[in-house]
């Protein structure tokens, strides 16, 4: 049997990983500034994470949500402590799309309404409603098309207010990334997020903070949205939550009440996933990873801004994007194949940096010198 060919892939076979480094099957070392789509939060194969998963495997890996799973309660309590959202409640699932799907569904249950506001260049995942709220017609199958989603311009408070004025009493939710990831690292302004909060309060809609990529400390604070000084009603999470172990979830404001069977899952919140997610939170709590992300991120942005061949340096913490000109459009490939550095990209010609939150200053500085060399050696 062959694999269903849905990914353009690099011909590299990674067989080992530690911290911000990965190695291929020939022993060649790479610096990883991508973390496999922003997934690696505490560093590849962090020893505490490895040991906690191994210990859990020796006890029990899975049982369904028909029984009490104390690890879920421990996870909720540690997440409340580390994120500062102690009064929120946790629902666990397996991926970012599923987290957003549940968030949107819950908002609709809560309000009894159908309409959703999403934004241009948004990416929320590939399940039915999450993909319908994603601004990329190429990945929306006919069965997922719906008139219930309106795409408004990102960071445009006036058009948001105008839209609420015309159909505010039909709107169930506004879903927004704190920093658009797939869309090219676009930071939501404080005033924009404050306007979302104000409109949702005025019209009784639910503010959903998609924190799947920008959350879990990546921006230097736990939820990047909270930099605006207002709180969302639901935060969706995945990627960094398990440091590579598949787990997602939403945390829900106490104003939204649970009812039996409104949400559900077979695998979500299983013992092994909870152990992995607890290990991640314990490391974020006990090691200064968020301040490190802020400091190393500032350093990177400052150095990148001084390189004349690149422009539009933007982001927060260790979620950084910059534009390269059309003549430098192969820079990402050169960084990978000539300088052994994984980075991410977004269309057109944006390079995205999404390393582990434990990236050291030395590695950041090594990246800057390699980037300068790659630009010097660049042959269009
Ligand atoms: C902001 C955001 N939301 C949701 C998702 C979907 O997450 P998953 O691929 O885990 O379903 C992604 C994935 O890239 C994302 O960046």
Position 6 pLDDT exceeds 80:
yes
Please tell me the distance from the alpha carbon of residue 110 to that of residue 107, in angstroms, as a whole number.
Answer: 5
Please tell me the distance from the alpha carbon of residue 6 to that of residue 330, in angstroms, as a whole number.
Answer: 22
Given the candidates 3.40.50.300, 3.40.50.1970, 3.40.640.10, 3.30.1950.10, the CATH classification of the domain at 47-286 is 3.40.640.10
**Choice from 124, 232, 246 to test ligand 1 binding pocket (greatest atom count within 8 A of CB):** 124
Q: Which of 42, 174, 198 is nearest to 117 (CA)?
A: 174
Matching CATH topology for 14-46+289-376 and 47-286? no
Pocket flag, ligand 1, residue 181 (CB < 6 Å) = yes
Please tell me the distance from the alpha carbon of residue 245 to that of residue 280, in angstroms, as a whole number.
Answer: 10
Q: 14-46+289-376 maps to which CATH number?
A: 3.90.1150.10
Least confident of 249-258, 284-293, 320-329: 320-329
- Preceding peptide of 348 cis, ω within 30°: yes
> What is the CA(96)–ligand 1 centre distance, in A?
5
User: Residue 272: what are its φ and ψ, rounded to 5°?
Assistant: -70, -40
300-336 residue pLDDT tens: 999 999 999 999 999 999 999 999 998 898 999 999 9
pLDDT confidence of residue 162 = 98
- Please say whether the beta carbons of 321 and 314 come within 8 A: yes
Report residue 89 as tokens: 């409640």
Helices (H), the chain: 35-38, 47-59, 70-83, 96-111, 128-132, 157-167, 190-203, 271-286, 289-305, 331-337, 361-376
Pocket flag, ligand 1, residue 83 (CB < 6 Å) = no
> What is the CA(306)–ligand 1 centre distance, in A?
31
- Mean pLDDT of all residues in 193-199: 98
Please tell me the distance from the alpha carbon of residue 166 to that of residue 222, in angstroms, as a whole number.
Answer: 34
pLDDT confidence of residue 28 = 98
Please tell me the distance from the alpha carbon of residue 98 to that of residue 359, in angstroms, as a whole number.
Answer: 29
Q: Which of 280, 292, 281, 344 is nearest to 318 (CA)?
A: 292
> What is the CA(143)–ligand 1 centre distance, in A?
20
Parallel, antiparallel, or unpaired: how do β-strands 89-93 and 248-252 relate? antiparallel
Report residue 303 as tokens: 């150095």
> What is the CA(374)–ligand 1 centre distance, in A?
30
pLDDT confidence of residue 347 = 83
Atom of ligand 1 nearest to the CA of 37: 14
Banded model confidence at residue 291, pLDDT cuts 50, 70, 90: very high
Banded model confidence at residue 380, pLDDT cuts 50, 70, 90: low
Pocket flag, ligand 1, residue 242 (CB < 6 Å) = no
Domain boundary assignment for the chain = 14-46+289-376, 47-286
Atom of ligand 1 nearest to the CA of 182: 16
Q: Would you mind telling me the total number of residues written for the chain in this entry?
A: 380
Pocket flag, ligand 1, residue 354 (CB < 6 Å) = no
Q: Which of 315, 325, 379, 380 is nearest to 352 (CA)?
A: 315
271-285 residue pLDDT tens: 999 999 999 999 999
HSE (CB half, 13 Å, CA atoms) of 183?
Answer: 25
Residue closest by Cα to atom 3 of ligand 1:
124
Per-residue b/e over 215-245, b at no fewer than 16 CB within 10 Å? bbbbbbbbbbbbbbebbbbbbbbbbbbbbbb
Q: Which of 108, 224, 128, 222 is nearest to 174 (CA)?
A: 108
- The torsion of the CA quartet 117, 120, 125, 126, rounded to 10 degrees, works out to 100
Pocket flag, ligand 1, residue 343 (CB < 6 Å) = no
**Choice from 7, 93, 96, 128 to test ligand 1 binding pocket (greatest atom count within 8 A of CB):** 96
Q: Which residues contact 47 (CB under 8 A, 6 or more apart)?
A: none
- Mean pLDDT of all residues in 215-225: 98
Position 378 pLDDT exceeds 90:
no
Parallel, antiparallel, or unpaired: how do β-strands 206-210 and 234-237 relate? parallel
339-374 residue pLDDT tens: 999 999 998 899 999 999 999 999 999 999 999 999
């Amino acid at each position: 049997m062959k694999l269903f060919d849905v990914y353009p892939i690099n011909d590299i076979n990674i067989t080992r990983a530690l911290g911000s480094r990965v190695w291929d099957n020939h022993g060649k070392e790479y610096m990883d500034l991508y973390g496999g789509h922003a997934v690696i939060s505490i560093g590849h194969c962090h020893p505490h994470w490895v040991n906690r998963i191994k210990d859990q495997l020796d006890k029990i890996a899975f049982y369904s949500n028909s029984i009490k799973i104390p690890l879920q309660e421990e996870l909720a309590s540690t997440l409340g402590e580390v994120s500062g959202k102690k009064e929120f409640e946790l629902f666990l699932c397996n991926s970012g799309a599923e987290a957003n799907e549940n968030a949107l569904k819950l908002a609709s249950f809560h309000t009894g309404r159908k309409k959703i506001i999403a934004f241009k260049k948004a990416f929320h995942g590939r399940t039915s409603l999450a993909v319908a709220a994603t601004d990329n017609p190429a990945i929306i199958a006919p069965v997922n098309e719906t008139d219930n989603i309106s795409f408004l311009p990102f960071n445009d408070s006036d058009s948001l207010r105008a839209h609420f004025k015309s159909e505010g009493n039909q709107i169930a939710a506004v879903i927004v990334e704190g920093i658009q990831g797939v869309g090219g690292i676009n930071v939501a302004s404080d005033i924009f997020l404050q306007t979302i909060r104000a409109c949702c309060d005025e019209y009784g809609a639910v503010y959903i903070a998609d924190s799947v990529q920008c959350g879990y400390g990546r921006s230097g604070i736990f939820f990047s949205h909270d930099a605006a000084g207002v709180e969302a009603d639901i935060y969706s999470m995945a990627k960094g939550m398990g440091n590579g172990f598949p787990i997602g979830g939403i945390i829900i404001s106490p104003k939204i009440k649970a009812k039996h069977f409104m949400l559900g899952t077979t695998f979500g919140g299983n013992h092994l996933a909870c152990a992995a997610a607890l290990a991640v939170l314990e490391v974020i709590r006990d090691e200064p990873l968020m301040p490190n992300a802020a400091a190393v991120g500032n350093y990177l942005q400052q150095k990148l801004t001084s390189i004349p061949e690149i422009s539009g340096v933007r982001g927060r913490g260790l979620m950084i994007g910059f534009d390269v000109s059309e003549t430098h459009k192969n820079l990402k490939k050169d960084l990978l194949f000539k300088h052994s550095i994984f980075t991410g990209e977004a269309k057109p010609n944006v390079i995205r940096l999404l390393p582990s939150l434990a990236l050291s200053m030395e590695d950041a500085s090594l990246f800057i010198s390699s980037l300068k060399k790659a630009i010097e050696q660049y042959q269009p």
